[in-house]
Amino acid sequence: MKSKNIVQVVMVAFFMLTLSSFKGETKRVSIVQEEQTISAIFDGAEDYGYNFIFTNDDEDESTITFQNVNADILKAFDLKSEALIGTNMKVTYTIVIETEEDEDGFESETEILTITKLEKIKK
């Protein structure tokens, strides 16, 4: 009788593990847009990215946050320090739009901005 209970428990555990491995896969599609360039003022680094302030087409100031920076730029500019805050810069960057579809068919888009070139602008 005891062995019958053990077999049942093992069977239930096996089926639970098998069923849990059939989770829906998420699909991820990335679209890379052309490089863009703006003139902006460095506003500092946060845990989530590097902030720059720029003037948009409507002449309003906006903040743009870059999640990634190419490694060679980080060697040339210490963006983690406060020394560069307030510096005018020419920022060239790419935008990658990642679209994820979950197991229920719902899509969500995420923009990932990466600085590819950075130059100080002299006044």
In tens digits, the chain (123 residues) has pLDDT values of 455 555 454 454 444 544 444 444 556 666 777 899 999 999 999 999 999 999 988 889 999 999 999 999 999 999 999 999 999 999 999 999 888 888 888 888 889 999 999 999 986
The model scores a pTM over 0.85 = no
Give buried/exposed letters for 76-94 (b at 16+ CB in 10 A, else e).
Answer: ebebeeeebeeeebebebb
Instruction: Report which residue type is found at 63.
Output: T
Question: In 68-106, at which residue ranges do the beta strands (DSSP E only) sit?
Answer: 68-69, 88-101
pLDDT in the model for residue 93: 97
Tokens of 10: 């093992």
pLDDT, residue 29, reads 67
- The pLDDT, as a whole number, for residue 12 is 46
Please report where in the chains the tokens 């920076």 appear, as a residue.
Answer: 69
- State residue 48's pLDDT score: 93
